[in-house]
Chain A
Amino acid sequence: DTGVSQDPRHKITKRGQNVTFRCDPISEHNRLYWYRQTLGQGPEFLTYFQNEAQLEKSRLLSDRFSAERPKGSFSTLEIQRTEQGDSAMYLCASSPEVGREGGDTQYFGPGTRLTVL
């Protein structure tokens, strides 16, 4: 079990550019979540996948944001036309399916820190 990994760990971009982040969940976990965390705040939910299906999206996820999990394994989060307000830590978490050990808990990755200049 190598844990949840995220890439890159840090991203600096200019306003208006597109960025894409990747999350690799724990291998046997079928559920995957994206959160955004700004300074001094707790994580805020963005979206949730069960296998390859995106089942929930927060109102925080504007039309500039899109997430995919095409094969039910890794996931990508893309932000188009970045704005300075997008600067934050983007966290990914995963869980095994309901009913399995740990199924009620989310396991977090180290996050991708985005800075938009």
Chain B
Amino acid sequence: AQTVTQSQPEMSVQEAETVTLSCTYDTSESDYYLFWYKQPPSRQMILVIRQEAYKQQNATENRFSVNFQKAAKSFSLKISDSQLGDAAMYFCAYRWLGTGNQFYFGTGTSLTVIP
């Protein structure tokens, strides 16, 4: 069974600093996608970044980057130059290419940005 674990329920970062959110997952499959979604308070989930498991190069989207360690089944999110608008719940998600289509989500990390 696929499981996604986010071991940090809460994190905080000073504005303009860098923070890393952790995610590990369990799967026996080799072809899958990993995602980080952001859910601001009372607002909808927004895709932050995605990574294809077959790509060794870590994905990057502006201030957001990932450290994908396939052998370790680890997928951390680094936010550089943190901004107040980055404050939100962050969810790590896994999707196997071979199954119907569902995503498996972690329990989330609540990120606070301190001015």
Contacts and interface: CB of A to CB of B under 8 A. Distances in A.
Interface of B: 4, 33, 35, 37, 43-47, 50, 52, 91, 93, 95, 97, 100-108
Contacts of B33: 104
Contacts of A4: 44
B103 A104 contact: no
User: What secondary structure prevails in chain A residues at the interface with B?
Assistant: loop
18 contacts: A4-B44, A33-B102, A40-B107, A40-B108, A41-B107, A42-B93, A42-B108, A43-B45, A43-B91, A45-B103, A45-B104, A48-B100, A58-B102, A105-B35, A105-B47, A105-B50, A106-B103, A108-B46
A48 B103 CA distance: 11
Interface string A29-48: 00101000000111111001
Contacts of A58: 102
A108 B44 contact: yes
A56 B107 contact: no
Interface residues on A, range: 20 to 34
Interface of A: 3-4, 31, 33, 40-45, 48, 55-56, 58, 91, 95, 104-111
Contacts of A3: 44
A56 B52 CA distance: 23
Contact of B47 (A40, A41, A107): A107
A85 B97 CA distance: 32
A57 to B, nearest CB: 10
Contacts of B95: 104
B44 A109 contact: yes
B44 A56 contact: no
B102 A42 contact: no
A110 B108 contact: no
